[in-house]
Structure 1
Amino acid sequence: MPKTVRLTGPTEWIDLEFVERERTLHEIIGKGIRHHLAELSLSNTVIHLGELGVQRSRVAVHNWVQKADLQPADGESPDRVAVDQKAIRINDEQYWLYAAVDPQTNRILHSRLFSTYTIPIAREFLTELAEKHDVEDALFLVDDADDLIGGLCRENYSYRVERHGFRNSVEHVFREVQRRTSSFSNRFSHVDPPTAETWLQAHTVWWNHA
């Protein structure tokens, strides 16, 4: 098993009401979810649980993450918002992960997975972001992505093209996602897009509490 980091800590941010009928202790399920989101592949999570005396399958751990349905909290009012999109492979198809990050706190405000990247998609993402957070007066930091710039213009948001500085926060998020999906061979395999997005949303919640 690889060396792990940031595996200790509380799990109050995981709502375990879904495990009422589970035979596994809530504490163990919380640890399993946190360890998988933080560092470990499903296989290594199973090995770690085995070391704690709990025998569970990869499918069981996968189902814990899916059933937890973790969603990032809303209600933020950031002064700046860094936005970007990056390619994510699901099986043999390419999808696009959009993310918005508060560069002052490094918290992920919103993330979504789309099958393509266009100005209408960017507008949909920005609309969802505005429904969750107060970003009306925020300054958006973006690189030279035409879809995001077009979406910001059409939604009448203030933006600045910036490739470094405060926008490094969103790049840091994507590097972390890439690092985690490298344990899946740089892609999600044998899952459908909604399942992959559920994992990405759960990873976002872990990131914001790590």
Structure 2
Amino acid sequence: MPKTAPLTECTEWIDLEFVERERTPREIIEKGIRHHLAGLSLSNTVILLEDLGVDRSRVAVHNWVQKADLQPADGESPDRVAVDQKAIRINDEQYWLYAAVDPETNSILHSRLFPTYTIAIAREFLTELAEKHDVEDALFLVNDADDLIGGLRRENYSYRVEQHGFRNSVERIFREVQRRTSSFSNCFSHVDPPTAETWLQAHAVWWNHT
């Protein structure tokens, strides 16, 4: 079984208001969510819970993550924002994961799944980012992606084309997503896009608190 963070790690970032409808103790749900997001597959998370004396199914663990509805916190004011997009497969279709990262803290500020990548999509993503965080005076770091550059220009944001340096922070995020989705054969299977996006948002919250 892959190694994960210690069982004593703080889980205050997991909101378990839905627990009232669950028959599983709160601390067990916290451990299941945290260890699944940290690296365990659903099957290995079930084995972990069995070792703790709790018998729950893969579906139960999956539902805990979905019901927790974890979202990265709002209200940041970063000096720089690294932005990028990456192809993510959901069943047999390709979607695009857009992400904005504060390279000073390596925190994910915002992420979204879209069915394609265009300037209009990039503008929508940037608008959502600005609704959550104060990025008006931030310098955006981007590679040579036409959609993001076009979106930044249309929204009148300052940006710099950068292949490495501070922009490596967003590349690390995508490498972590790829590492985690390797548990799903590099693909979300038998789920709809909103379900995949909920998992990705939850994973972003875990990343920000690691």
Which residue of structure 2 aligns with residue 4 of structure 1?
A: 3
The alignment partner of 1:33 has SS state of: helix
Q: How does 1:87-98 map to 2 (within 5 A)?
A: 87-98=87-98
- Residue 117 of structure 1 pairs with residue 117 of structure 2: yes
- Residue 140 of structure 1 pairs with residue 140 of structure 2: yes
Distance 2:45 2:3 in 1: 11
Q: Is the 8 A contact 1:142 1:148 kept in 2?
A: yes
Could you state the TM-score of these two structures normalised by the residue count of structure 1?
0.98
Distance 1:58 1:112 in 2: 25
Which residue of structure 1 aligns with residue 21 of structure 2?
A: 21
Kindly report structure 1 stretches of 4+ aligned residues shifted beyond 4 Å.
Answer: none
The alignment partner of 2:149 has SS state of: helix
Question: Structure 2 stretches of 5 or more lacking a match?
Answer: none
| 1:56-99 alpha-carbon deviations (Å, 9 max, x no partner) | 00000000000000011000000000000000000010000000
1:128 counterpart letter in structure 2:
E
Distance 1:44 1:29 in 2: 15
Which residue of structure 1 aligns with residue 79 of structure 2?
A: 79
Which residue of structure 2 aligns with residue 45 of structure 1?
A: 45
Distance 1:89 1:4 in 2: 26
Q: Is the 8 A contact 2:4 2:35 kept in 1?
A: no
Question: Structure 1 stretches of 5 or more lacking a match?
Answer: none
| 1:151-199 alpha-carbon deviations (Å, 9 max, x no partner) | 0000000000000000000000000000000000000000000000000
The alignment partner of 1:110 has SS state of: strand
1:13 counterpart letter in structure 2:
W
The alignment partner of 2:21 has SS state of: coil
User: Structure 1 residue 22: deviation in Å?
Assistant: 1.0
Q: Is the 8 A contact 2:87 2:97 kept in 1?
A: yes
Distance 2:73 2:64 in 1: 20
1:68 counterpart letter in structure 2:
A
Q: How does 1:101-180 map to 2 (within 5 A)?
A: 101-180=101-180
Q: Is the 8 A contact 1:82 1:100 kept in 2?
A: yes
Distance 1:193 1:165 in 2: 32
Distance 2:63 2:161 in 1: 41
The alignment partner of 1:30 has SS state of: helix
The alignment partner of 1:141 has SS state of: strand
User: Structure 1 residue 10: deviation in Å?
Assistant: 1.0
